[in-house]
């Protein structure tokens, strides 16, 4: 199975996530990579009702894939589903309601999905959130961590058994270039010490996704309001933002690329800046994975 991470923002000069950067990168894209039919294959996309997730769902629907949209808000999800069905002509689009910040519910959802569906080819962990202030979920876990990290871990771990039943399964986790300013921190997983800075907490969780993906790949053999308003004109469109997710999810070319790495604009790139201080030790990474496993198990229904 291949696990990939995708995307970019802040740092590396705001340029990376602009339309111009995309247009420049896209000059080296191989058009036929995406000229594939994925009819008969199924794709689960979290946060598929808006932005990049919605554009990803639309692109895959147009290629004939079955899409499982995992969203937390029924109205928004149904509205997006209706538009995707209308525009793609594909009726194999299903809505599932799940709030990824509710840890026990993530387990329950994944286990129920495995019982109901006999196959899943690709999981795209796209949903992401930035919290304005520290909040806890029902289980007492900090919500950004629960949604962006533990929820992704549980969904992926639980669905691996189903994914592995299909040929060439893939897991794509949409991280962010924001993680480049963060080194893995395992001493404050619940962000309950020091001042809570939602954007930095988010960036740390995007780093945790990157480490998690590298580690999971080894075990399986992959809304910032002020910022958006000032950059609105030059930011990538959702379709441009979704391009690498779609490429990783459907193309033959991606299937030949190494698993567990960070991809940007259809290219494997370093998960660290040059001379970066953000590298973690194997011991820290193991401790992080053990903490996730322990937390996940604590919330698993028996």
Is residue 65 part of the contact set for ligand NAP (CB under 6 A)?
A: no
Query: Among residues 4, 153, 202, 263, which one is catalytic?
Result: 202
Helices 51-62, 74-88: crossing angle, 10 deg rounding: 30
Tell me how far apart the alpha carbons of residues 217 and 213 are, in angstroms, rounded to a whole number. 6
Query: CA-CA distance, 103 to 214, in Å (whole number)?
Result: 22
Residue 76 binds to ligand NAP (criterion: CB under 6 A): yes
Q: Catalytic: 196?
A: no
Considering the rule CB under 6 A, would residue 265 count as an interface residue with ligand NAP? no
Q: What is the dihedral of CA 44, 50, 52, 57, to 10 degrees?
A: 40
Residue 99 makes contact with ligand NAP by CB under 6 A: yes
Burial readout 195-234 (b: 16 or more C-beta within 10 A, e: otherwise): ebebbebbbbbbbbbbbbbbbbbeebebeeeeeeeeeeee
Min dist CB 188 to ligand NAP, Å, is 20
Considering only the stretches 65-73, 255-263, 269-277, 285-293, report the one whose residues sit in contact with ligand NAP under the rule CB under 6 A: 65-73
17 binds ligand NAP (CB under 6 A): yes
Rounded to whole angstroms, what are the CA distances from 226 to 46, 144, 232? 24, 19, 10
169 touches ligand NAP (CB under 6 A): no
**Residue closest to 248 by CA, chosen among 56, 8, 74:** 56
Report if residue 129 touches ligand NAP, rule: CB under 6 A.
yes
In whole angstroms, how close is the CB of 209 to ligand NAP at the nearest point?
8
Among 65, 128, 169, 260, binds ligand NAP (CB under 6 A): 128
Using the rule CB under 6 A, is 47 a contact of ligand NAP?
yes
CB of 48 to ligand NAP, least distance (A): 7
Write the DSSP string, 238-277. HHHHHHHHHHHHH-HHHHTSPTT-EEETTEEE-SS-TT-S
Closer residue to ligand NAP (CB): 20 or 37: 20
* Position among 126, 182, 204, 222 found at the interface with ligand NAP (CB under 6 A): 126
Q: Does 176 interact with ligand NAP (rule: CB under 6 A)?
A: yes
Measured in residues, the chain has a length of 302
Token pair in block for residue 235: 């930011």
Part in contact with ligand NAP (CB under 6 A); list of ranges 37-45, 47-55, 279-287, 289-297: 47-55
Q: Which residue has the tokens 């930095």?
A: 200
Q: Given the rule CB under 6 A, which of 66-74, 131-139, 247-255, 283-291 is the region that contacts ligand NAP?
A: 66-74
Among 1, 21, 38, 52, binds ligand NAP (CB under 6 A): 52
Q: CA-CA distance, 21 to 69, in Å (whole number)?
A: 29
For residue 70, the SS3 value is: strand
Instruction: Select 145 or 288, whichever has its Cβ closest to ligand NAP.
Output: 145
Task: Give me the active site residues, please.
Answer: 202
Q: Which residues bind ligand NAP (CB under 6 A)?
A: 7-9, 17, 46-47, 49-53, 71-73, 76, 99-101, 126-129, 147, 174, 176, 223, 241
């Amino acid at each position: 199975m291949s696990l990939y991470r995708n995307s970019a923002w802040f740092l590396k000069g705001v340029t990376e996530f602009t339309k111009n950067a995309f247009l420049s990168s896209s000059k080296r894209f191989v058009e036929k990579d995406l000229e594939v039919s994925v009819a008969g294959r199924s794709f689960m996309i979290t946060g598929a009702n808006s932005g990049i997730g919605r554009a990803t769902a639309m692109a895959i629907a147009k290629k004939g894939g079955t899409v499982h949209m995992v969203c937390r808000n029924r109205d928004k999800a149904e509205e997006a589903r209706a538009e995707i069905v209308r525009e793609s002509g594909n009726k194999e689009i299903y809505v599932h309601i799940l709030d990824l910040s509710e840890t026990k519910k993530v387990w329950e959802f994944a286990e129920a999905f495995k019982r109901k569906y006999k196959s899943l080819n690709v999981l795209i962990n796209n949903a992401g959130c930035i919290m304005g202030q520290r909040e806890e979920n029902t289980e007492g876990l900090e919500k950004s961590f629960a949604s962006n990290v533990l929820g992704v871990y549980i969904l992926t771990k639980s669905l691996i058994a189903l994914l592995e039943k299909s040929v060439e399964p893939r897991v794509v986790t949409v991280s962010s270039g924001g993680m480049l300013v963060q080194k893995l921190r395992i001493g404050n997983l619940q962000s309950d010490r020091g001042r809570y800075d939602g954007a930095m907490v988010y960036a740390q969780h995007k780093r945790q996704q990157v480490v998690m993906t590298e580690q999971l790949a080894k075990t399986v053999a992959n809304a910032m309001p002020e910022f958006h308003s000032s950059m609105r004109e030059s930011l990538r469109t959702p379709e441009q933002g979704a391009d690498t997710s779609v490429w990783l999810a459907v193309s033959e070319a991606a299937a030949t690329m190494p698993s567990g790495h960070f991809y940007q604009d259809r290219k494997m790139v370093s998960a660290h800046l040059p001379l970066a201080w953000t590298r973690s030790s194997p011991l820290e990474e193991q401790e992080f994975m053990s903490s996730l496993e322990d937390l996940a198990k604590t919330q698993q229904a028996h």
